[in-house]
């Protein structure tokens, strides 16, 4: 995944919104988000090559996401899969704080990553290229992470932040479509504001939009996770082909285990 926006306890009725794009090579095999056959409480995609995932949620309200940190000059050969950091959290009973700290302690073994793990009680961020070298709690508010540290103001991150900061969270009750439309912003940044991450300029240009379209590499899917204070929740995902055309949509509404639940339904237009 290459960009994600999070609203964490930023609205009384909507304690969690995650809106994210996964960017990957089109020939890397993967499965769309769905309940896992061996763990139906987990709803997430699967990277068929490394058997991890990039973003997921559980029916108990645990969530995790990961983005790669772009640092081509410091790649580690044969490093463990970063996707396992997400799947392990989703399938283990350890607290978000304990898990994040454990990942921070072991982070040097991995290529660069940003990891966010949490539940409805709180969330933690770990970046193994963060000079602070620790996990830290994410307070109430709105965040963006792409392929540098959390809230680094890259043009694509700030563009998505501005769009979603202006979206009234109560409108999630009506439809998720406006969020997907904002995620599909393919506007590239001007050269003078591009980051210099050690890749060729034409590649920096390609990767500078929130939504990426190219024959070999691009946005494979957009995912929205929304949780209402009542416990109603949904993971909704749209899959795209190399031309940026939507090919599938999957909506997984569910009730988070809480007392007392309210069996209202999401509008998934």
Rounded-to-integer distance, Cα 79 and Cα 266, Å = 40
Measured between alpha carbons, how far is 122 from 112 in angstroms, rounded to an integer?
24
Whether residue 262 has pLDDT greater than 50 = no
32 near 47, Cβ under 8 Å? Answer: no
**Cβ neighbours of 12 (radius 10 Å):** 9
Please, what sign has the CA dihedral across residues 167, 173, 177, 179?
positive
DSSP 16: E
Whether the Cβ atoms of residue 55 and residue 4 lie closer than 8 Å to each other: yes
Per-residue pLDDT at 267: 46
φ/ψ of residue 2, rounded to 5: -115, -15
pLDDT (tens digit per residue) in 158-212:
999 999 999 999 999 999 999 999 999 999 999 999 999 999 999 999 999 999 9
Q: Give me the residue label for tokens 């997400």.
A: 86
Q: Once rounded to an integer, what is the mean pLDDT over residues 107-130?
A: 96
Q: Residues 71-84: pLDDT tens digits?
A: 999 999 999 999 99
Are residues 18 and 43 in contact, defined by beta-carbon separation less than 8 angstroms? no
Query: What are the boundaries of each domain within the chain?
Result: 3-255
pLDDT confidence tier of residue 265, bands split at 50, 70 and 90 = very low
Alpha helices in 19-60 (DSSP H): none
- pLDDT at res. 269: 47
| CATH value of 3-255 in 3.40.50.920, 1.10.10.60, 3.60.60.10, 2.60.120.10 | 3.60.60.10
What predicted TM-score, i.e. pTM, was given to this entire model?
Answer: 0.95
Q: Are 126 and 135 in contact (CB under 8 A)?
A: yes
Q: Nearest-CA neighbor of 127 among 118, 119, 136, 140? A: 136
129-142: pLDDT as tens digits: 999 889 999 999 99
C-alpha 150/C-alpha 125 separation (Å) is 8
Q: Is beta strand 63-68 parallel, antiparallel or unpaired with respect to 55-58?
A: antiparallel
Query: Residue range 5-30: average pLDDT?
Result: 97
Tally DSSP H helices, then E strands, for the chain: 5, 13
Residue whose structure tokens are 């763990």? 39
Over the stretch 202-248, which tens digit does the pLDDT of each residue have? 999 999 999 999 999 999 999 999 999 999 999 999 999 999 999 99
pLDDT per residue as tens digits for the range 25-37? 999 999 999 999 9
Instruction: Please state, in angstroms and rounded to a whole number, the distance separating the CA atoms of residues 148 and 163.
Output: 20
Q: C-alpha dihedral over 68, 143, 166, 244, to 10 degrees?
A: 10
Cα 89 to Cα 62: distance, rounded to the nearest angstrom: 8
């Amino acid at each position: 995944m290459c960009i994600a926006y999070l609203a964490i306890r930023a609205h009384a009725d909507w304690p969690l919104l995650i809106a994210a794009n996964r960017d990957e090579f089109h020939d890397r095999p993967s499965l769309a988000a769905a309940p896992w056959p061996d763990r139906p409480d987990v709803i997430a995609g699967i990277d068929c090559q490394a058997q991890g995932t990039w973003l997921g949620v559980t029916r108990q309200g645990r969530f995790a996401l990961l983005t790669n940190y772009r640092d081509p000059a410091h790649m580690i050969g044969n490093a463990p899969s970063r996707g396992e950091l997400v799947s392990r959290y989703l399938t283990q009973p350890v607290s978000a704080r304990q898990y994040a700290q454990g990942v921070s302690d072991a982070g040097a073994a991995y290529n660069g990553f940003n990891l966010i793990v949490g539940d409805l009680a709180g969330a933690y961020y770990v970046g193994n290229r963060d000079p602070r070298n620790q996990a830290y709690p994410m307070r109430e508010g709105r965040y963006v992470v792409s392929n540098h540290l959390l809230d680094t103001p890259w043009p694509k991150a700030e563009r998505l932040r501005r769009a979603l900061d202006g979206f009234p969270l109560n409108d999630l009750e009506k439809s998720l479509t406006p969020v997907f439309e904002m995620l599909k912003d393919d506007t590239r940044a001007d050269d003078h504001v591009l980051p210099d991450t050690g890749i060729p300029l034409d590649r920096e240009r390609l990767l500078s939009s929130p939504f990426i379209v190219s024959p070999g590499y691009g946005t494979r899917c957009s995912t929205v996770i929304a949780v209402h204070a009542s416990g109603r929740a949904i993971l909704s995902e749209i899959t795209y082909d190399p031309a940026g055309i939507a090919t599938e949509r999957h909506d997984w509404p569910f009730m988070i285990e809480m007392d007392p639940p309210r069996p209202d339904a999401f509008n998934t237009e």
